[in-house]
Structure 1
Amino acid sequence: MKLLIQLSLILFVSTCYSQASLNKAERLFKKNAFKSAATTYNEYIENADKVSEETLLQAAEANYNVNNNRKAAMLYERAYNMNANLDEENLYRYVRSLRSVREYKKADRVFLQFLENNDKPKVKEQFIKERDSFYALLNSSKESRYTISNSTINSEYSDFGPVLYRDSLIFSSSRPGAAKELYLWNEQPFLSLFVSEKAENGMLEKPTLFSKQIKSDFHDATIAFAPNSHVVYFTSSHTEKHKLILDNNRSNQFVLYKATMEDGKIKNKEELFFNSKEYSAGHPSVSPDGTFLFFASDMPGGYGQADIYYSEIYKDGMLSEPKNAGPTINTAGNDFFPFLASDGSFYFSSNGHVGFGGLDIFEASFNNATKSFSDVKNIGKVANTSYDDFSIVFDDDVTSGYFASNRPDGKGDDDIYHFTRKPLTCNQVVSGNIKDQKDNNNLADVTVTVRDSTNAIIHTLITDANGNFKVTIPCNNTITLTATKPDYFEQTKDAQTGNKDQGITDPVNFILEKATDMIVKDEEGFEKIKMDPIYFEYDKANITPQAAKALDGAVKLMNFYPNMVIKIEAHTDSRGSDSYNLSLSDKRAKATQEYLYSKGIATNRILSAKGFGESRLLNKCSNGVKCSDEEHEKNRRSNFIILEK
């Protein structure tokens, strides 16, 4: 009996201790003291015989919020096995936890099942598209464009949010020495802004507190500078009389301030008009031309948790009403840390788009005129990991910059990394087909010579059996393609490549004319140059534009056969007097001769140029015979008779 009583007492004490531990964890959770809450929940769950779904979900969320992703994924899985119909918020966190520990396939299955159960076809379509792009990126052997190095200024605390300002870098940090209070969420000091001078190769000098005027006892983080002005925007905890302003859930929000910076001091500080104690606004960034303020906020009406917004900055400094960046950028997760680079590329961090896990850095482009964003793409390995990678900024030349990450090879919590980026490899395919002008058959074995803008040969191609060719050319290049084949006239065309990697230009097709197709035999067996009729104005021998076009065909053939010798004969119809027609035809023959000379044909290559008037009619239409215009036209002709070839 005594033993039973002792056992009962032990069980009772153990149960009381367990309940007290749970109560403590719940109190900490309600205070957003997630680091302590996670520790307490984990100890409770480890020793408890039975744990409710609600407790598992709260414990999972606490671990998730302090980046204990492995533990969070395990706890969410236990809750999911108890009830597969998790609410959307917990389901999304479960999926993100799985991705953070690289359980990509499992994360995909869980999320697709959720989308099926909740009839979200558009979200499913977008997810599958992003998922396929992610796996192509994950499995690619292509070398990353990014080379990174950990900055010397990092501490064991959280260092992030780099901003380039003149020859220095300003960043947010929870390192001791600035804020007096501890932030319960992660038990680190509240954030403050620090500045560090830039040295060679992206190295940074010892940081100091940025501005005493910004400093408060709470969060002071993420700053942006309007170009060519003294205006700054920055994020701080919402306070009044040095006390935190709390919302209805007893939470404090971030707000955005505008100020001017003069002689290193912050002046004229004022809140932006869209701030609220019910939601946060932060992570400001100003476009390079100073016309847009980008920021993140969880204000009502968004697509998920934090969304990216922008306001136009008018010339007098007034801001427009914020506009959501839209579903191309924003997701059901967190989308923040916007940055518009000088080349128009728009960067932001997200855990809602499909990525490697945690926050990934994504890229789009922003059109100032239409205020629209292009499709989003992940910037890839090295820059992104299964941990949080975020708050990227670029130098003006867009070849280097800084970002933050909590990857395990760092010095502390979040670390600032310097990076350099190789220029983007961009190529497009130029292709075409070559046919014979006479019979429209495909021409094989045609040589296609490709020259760049300096006329240097960069490729030489041969068409295949179907007359096709293709070549890869760098983006944004003008090239010249020349098609040559024995017995055919050479032909040249220009082409322009675009700016999309792996794009395909419009086909560059050729129709080549065989030189011998321009040589015909007359009734007497003499070879002549086949050409369009040469038209002269009435009673004149001047070369008209139409006549010049026809004569250029003769020039082309004579240049193809450099030893060709010809004689020119001009004939008229029978209308008009014999002497007039003889004189006019002779003038026209000699005019055509002079035109060929003017085009570079040597004088010794034209044996004669003579007019015969109406003396050599081809039909019955002599003097006094009534004929149609068409019959008379047959007699009006110029013959270029080939004597040598």
Structure 2
Amino acid sequence: MNLGKNKYKAFFNLSGYMKNFGKPIFLVLLLIFSSFTLPVSLFKKASASDHLLNRADTAYRYAQYYLAAKNYRQYLLNTDTANATISLKLFYCYWNMREYGEAEKIMENFPVQNFIQTLPELRVRLAELQARKGNYVQAGRLLEGVAGYEEKAAFYLNEAARNYIREDSADWLIVPLSFNTSFREYSPFIYDEKLFFTTNLPLQDKEKSYLWDGRSFSRLWQIPLQEVTVEDSVEHLPNSNKISNVTGTKYYAPVFEGSDTRPLWSESSQKLQTDYVTRAFTPKGKPAFATGKWKYNVGTASFDTLGNIYFSANRNRFKGTKNTVNILQAKFADGQLLYPKPVFPEDTFSYLHPAVSADGKLLIFSSNRQGGKGAFDLYFVTRQNLFSGWSEIQSFSESVNTPGNEVFPSLSNDGYLYFSSDGKAGFGGLDIYRIPLQKALKGEGSAELIGYPVNGAYDDFGWAQTADTTKGFFTSDRRRDNDDIYAFRYEPKPKISYITGIVLEKKTRTPMPGATVFLLNQATGEVMVDKADSTGRYTFVINNMGNYIVKAVEINCKDDCLSMEVLSAKPKYVTFPAPRPLLLELTFKPVWVINNVLYDFDKWHIRNDARPVLDSVVTILKTYPIKVELGSHTDCRGSFKYNDRLSQRRAESAVAYIVSRGIDPSRITAKGYGERKLVNRCSDGVDCTEEEHQQNRRTEITVIYNPSPANSIDPTPYHKGDKLRKENFPENFFNDCR
């Protein structure tokens, strides 16, 4: 695609290239050209461009992304035709250097749609750029259809799933450490009461950087745990007053390629063409051991309990072969490395990020060796003892490895394998996961995503856990894309969950307010009590997951109960609804009003139209062996004495009628209440309608004795909030609940 020379110049000017990159490049080219006797034709535009492209391609082939990017950009500035292949390589240069902003700018001027269908890896990288910005829907759509990334795409598109993981964020306390600098610090490891980590911090205020691409060596650093403190401000970072935009972004250890360092910034010497890395502060801690004599880049380290150290390292072997990383094993004593030797034979693959078991018999690592599922996968080797050789290399199963990258493994005291992956469902970039170690070694189990905010949209990796498993350290580039080490403390708060439901009358499906509800925790035997509210609903607060029984009881009702399982809840507050309503079958009410028992004025004789109503009471008394009180009530009109006498006579008249129908008089009692139990506001002196007065003129039947109640126990002694034991109830009270 021909974008034109001027468009590329405009693009690079907008991104600050001409200001920050152009001058050093022209200077370097001038120095190079002045050092040799070159043909005149070399200075021709076409040949110069070809030279830039050859330099860029050579650097790209050997994973020297900084030089490759510099030359690709200069090439695009010098040519009139934009080459999509070169632009794509430039994108991958920035991606591998973790200059995500520059990588995204390349995509703004790149025919993305022409390539995303044929280059799945490009779609994965573009999705990661979107995820880093929190654009999860766009990220998920880019990943749809990419083999091996189905789970990650689904997670990106599922906001509820992401929110579910975020719910336990209050359990984590995360703070950056005070020894972090504007260089990079990563991969912490706890050993011998010290915190070891890797950094590209120079040892001196001004130090020569190695390799022709301007990289400085990374080193293993140490600081006593008792001197590890947190930053007084999240924004505080000790650094110099100026940072060159050329190399102003930090980079993490070898994940995708065999080179593992970048300087923070460099200054060029016109005479020697040598880059230097500078610092303007005194760092905390010190190097774990000297590496000056053998020129290693030292990466992630791990120790066993026998004083052996295992660490990633590569020699700067640029000419003829691509840089690779191997794992070295050595005896570590008094700051000295004794008898260092490679664990794996030298070949064209990289072996890095060792995690060794305490007894030194298991070694887990990451590698890009042939036959893996992705770019870098996790592998392991074992041995019988420290003097025997390692076993054949074995790969972890798909419970760990993905088509993406699995890196930075570590082993915890509580039997877990921690690692980072950019191929599993997560928040973006590298996320930290854990899986039971023994299950992982057998190819079983599934990896668990560590919660937010440990994991976020940025790269999170390098997990180190203290002996009590609640505290530790990890690495993240969440702050200005810098790799820093953070301390964490995990203090799970009690998870407040609720069991809720409703109590209804079985036949009418109307709410049963006041019903007594019992909740049995089958694991602990604890019983809690609630009373249904005015809508028939009940609520229990629970702190434990497991199996529960819920049972409702009400006077003159057949009990109902159910069993339910409450699964583990991630969120702090979650409601578990009962699987169905509790249905209480009402046999008869403890108190009910007999309507339409009418009397003539100032009379108490039973009228013919009242007899069918009283006959219904006779039927109930013949059905159930209960004893009742028949109470007669009047409205407020008339004197108290008159109303008391009238209501008593009317009650006695109704009882006499019921007894005449064959009911034992000992089972029914007459009681006149007059106007003493008004059901509304209509007392003396209050102006009321006839309908309101009629509400008070009523006859009520109250059960005063029931030898065979439908309810299994009397619920009246129990109160809302009571806490009892299963042993406080009849033996079969909680049986047969479904």
Task: Name the SS for the 1:137 alignment partner.
Answer: helix
Task: Name the SS for the 1:372 alignment partner.
Answer: coil
User: Is 1:298 aligned with 2:368?
Assistant: yes
- 1:232 is matched with 308
Native 8 Å contact 1:312 1:320 kept in 2: yes
- Answer with 57-66 or 306-315: which moved more: 306-315
Task: Name the SS for the 1:56 alignment partner.
Answer: helix
CA shift at 1:511, angstroms? 9.2
Native 8 Å contact 1:350 1:362 kept in 2: yes
- 1:637 is matched with none
- 1:358 is matched with 429
User: Is 1:53 aligned with 2:78?
Assistant: no
Letter in 1 for 2:224: E
Provide the rounded CA distance (Å) in 2 between the counterparts of 1:186 and 1:150.
30
Provide the rounded CA distance (Å) in 2 between the counterparts of 1:472 and 1:285.
43
Instruction: Identify if the C-alpha distance between structure 1 residues 430 and 559 changes in structure 2 by more than 3 Å, giving closer, same or farther.
Output: closer
Instruction: Identify if the C-alpha distance between structure 1 residues 62 and 288 changes in structure 2 by more than 3 Å, giving closer, same or farther.
Output: same
- 1:414 is matched with 483
Provide the rounded CA distance (Å) in 2 between the counterparts of 1:367 and 1:436.
53
CA shift at 1:368, angstroms? 4.1
Output aligned runs, 1:533-548, within 5 Å. none
CA shift at 1:326, angstroms? 2.4
- 1:126 is matched with 151
- 1:219 is matched with 297
Native 8 Å contact 2:361 2:384 kept in 1: yes
Native 8 Å contact 1:33 1:184 kept in 2: no
User: Is 1:22 aligned with 2:22?
Assistant: no
- 1:323 is matched with 394
CA shift at 1:506, angstroms? 9.7
- 1:373 is matched with 445
CA shift at 1:440, angstroms? 13
Provide the rounded CA distance (Å) in 2 between the counterparts of 1:186 and 1:477.
60
Equivalent in 132, 139, 143 of residue 111 of structure 1: 143
Native 8 Å contact 1:158 1:175 kept in 2: yes
User: Is 1:393 aligned with 2:464?
Assistant: yes
Instruction: Identify if the C-alpha distance between structure 1 residues 495 and 85 changes in structure 2 by more than 3 Å, giving closer, same or farther.
Output: closer
User: Is 1:38 aligned with 2:69?
Assistant: yes
Provide the rounded CA distance (Å) in 2 between the counterparts of 1:237 and 1:180.
20
User: Is 1:152 aligned with 2:178?
Assistant: yes
Letter in 2 for 1:282: L
**Superposed CA offset, 1:64-119 (max 9, x none):** 1212212223334515355454434444334434444555444444433x63xxxx
Native 8 Å contact 1:174 1:188 kept in 2: no
User: Is 1:66 aligned with 2:97?
Assistant: yes
Native 8 Å contact 2:178 2:228 kept in 1: no
| Sequence identity percentage | 22
Equivalent in 178, 185, 191 of residue 165 of structure 1: 191
**Superposed CA offset, 1:188-218 (max 9, x none):** 3222211111237754992112134898411
User: Is 1:332 aligned with 2:403?
Assistant: yes
Task: Name the SS for the 2:478 alignment partner.
Answer: coil
Provide the rounded CA distance (Å) in 2 between the counterparts of 1:367 and 1:428.
32
**Superposed CA offset, 1:113-162 (max 9, x none):** x63xxxx4xx3642432223467537998573444333222233221110
Native 8 Å contact 2:519 2:551 kept in 1: yes
Provide the rounded CA distance (Å) in 1 between the counterparts of 2:544 and 2:551.
20
Instruction: Identify if the C-alpha distance between structure 1 residues 443 and 341 changes in structure 2 by more than 3 Å, giving closer, same or farther.
Output: farther
CA RMSD of aligned residues (A): 5.1
CA shift at 1:307, angstroms? 0.9
- 1:634 is matched with none
- 1:87 is matched with 119
What is the total number of aligned residue pairs between the two structures? Answer: 508
- Answer with 142-151 or 496-505: which moved more: 496-505
CA shift at 1:493, angstroms? 9.8
Provide the rounded CA distance (Å) in 1 between the counterparts of 2:457 and 2:399.
23
Letter in 2 for 1:398: T
Task: Name the SS for the 1:219 alignment partner.
Answer: strand
Task: Name the SS for the 1:67 alignment partner.
Answer: coil
Instruction: Identify if the C-alpha distance between structure 1 residues 45 and 134 changes in structure 2 by more than 3 Å, giving closer, same or farther.
Output: farther
Instruction: Identify if the C-alpha distance between structure 1 residues 181 and 388 changes in structure 2 by more than 3 Å, giving closer, same or farther.
Output: farther
The TM-score with structure 1 as length reference comes to: 0.63
**Superposed CA offset, 1:496-555 (max 9, x none):** 855453696997998989999xx9869x999xxxxxxxxxxxxxxxxxxxxxxxxxx99x
- 2:678 is matched with none
Answer 1 or 2: higher relative contact order, Cα 8 Å, separation at least 6: 2
Native 8 Å contact 1:435 1:511 kept in 2: yes
Native 8 Å contact 1:235 1:257 kept in 2: yes
Instruction: Identify if the C-alpha distance between structure 1 residues 427 and 33 changes in structure 2 by more than 3 Å, giving closer, same or farther.
Output: same
CA shift at 1:374, angstroms? 1.8
Equivalent in 538, 543, 546 of residue 474 of structure 1: 543
Equivalent in 332, 338, 351 of residue 281 of structure 1: 351
List gaps (5 residues or longer) in structure 2: 1-39, 232-282, 589-622, 627-661, 665-706, 717-729, 731-738
Instruction: Identify if the C-alpha distance between structure 1 residues 344 and 72 changes in structure 2 by more than 3 Å, giving closer, same or farther.
Output: same
Instruction: Identify if the C-alpha distance between structure 1 residues 388 and 56 changes in structure 2 by more than 3 Å, giving closer, same or farther.
Output: same
Letter in 2 for 1:61: Y
CA shift at 1:355, angstroms? 4.3
**Superposed CA offset, 1:464-498 (max 9, x none):** 98x88664522457878664433569999998855
Letter in 1 for 2:365: F
Provide the rounded CA distance (Å) in 1 between the counterparts of 2:187 and 2:298.
11
- 2:725 is matched with none
Provide the rounded CA distance (Å) in 2 between the counterparts of 1:368 and 1:313.
19
**Superposed CA offset, 1:234-277 (max 9, x none):** 223356xxx7498xx711222223444456654454433x5542
Native 8 Å contact 1:400 1:419 kept in 2: yes
The TM-score with structure 2 as length reference comes to: 0.56
List gaps (5 residues or longer) in structure 1: 1-8, 527-552, 563-598, 600-645
- 1:199 is matched with 226
CA shift at 1:305, angstroms? 0.6
Native 8 Å contact 1:349 1:389 kept in 2: yes
- 1:625 is matched with none
Task: Name the SS for the 1:406 alignment partner.
Answer: strand
Instruction: Identify if the C-alpha distance between structure 1 residues 86 and 99 changes in structure 2 by more than 3 Å, giving closer, same or farther.
Output: farther
Task: Name the SS for the 1:417 alignment partner.
Answer: strand
Native 8 Å contact 2:558 2:712 kept in 1: no
Instruction: Identify if the C-alpha distance between structure 1 residues 261 and 84 changes in structure 2 by more than 3 Å, giving closer, same or farther.
Output: closer
Provide the rounded CA distance (Å) in 2 between the counterparts of 1:289 and 1:379.
30
CA shift at 1:285, angstroms? 2.1
**Superposed CA offset, 1:526-585 (max 9, x none):** 9xxxxxxxxxxxxxxxxxxxxxxxxxx99x9999699xxxxxxxxxxxxxxxxxxxxxxx
Native 8 Å contact 2:184 2:484 kept in 1: yes
Native 8 Å contact 2:302 2:311 kept in 1: no
Provide the rounded CA distance (Å) in 1 between the counterparts of 2:152 and 2:60.
32
- 2:321 is matched with 250
Provide the rounded CA distance (Å) in 2 between the counterparts of 1:323 and 1:509.
54
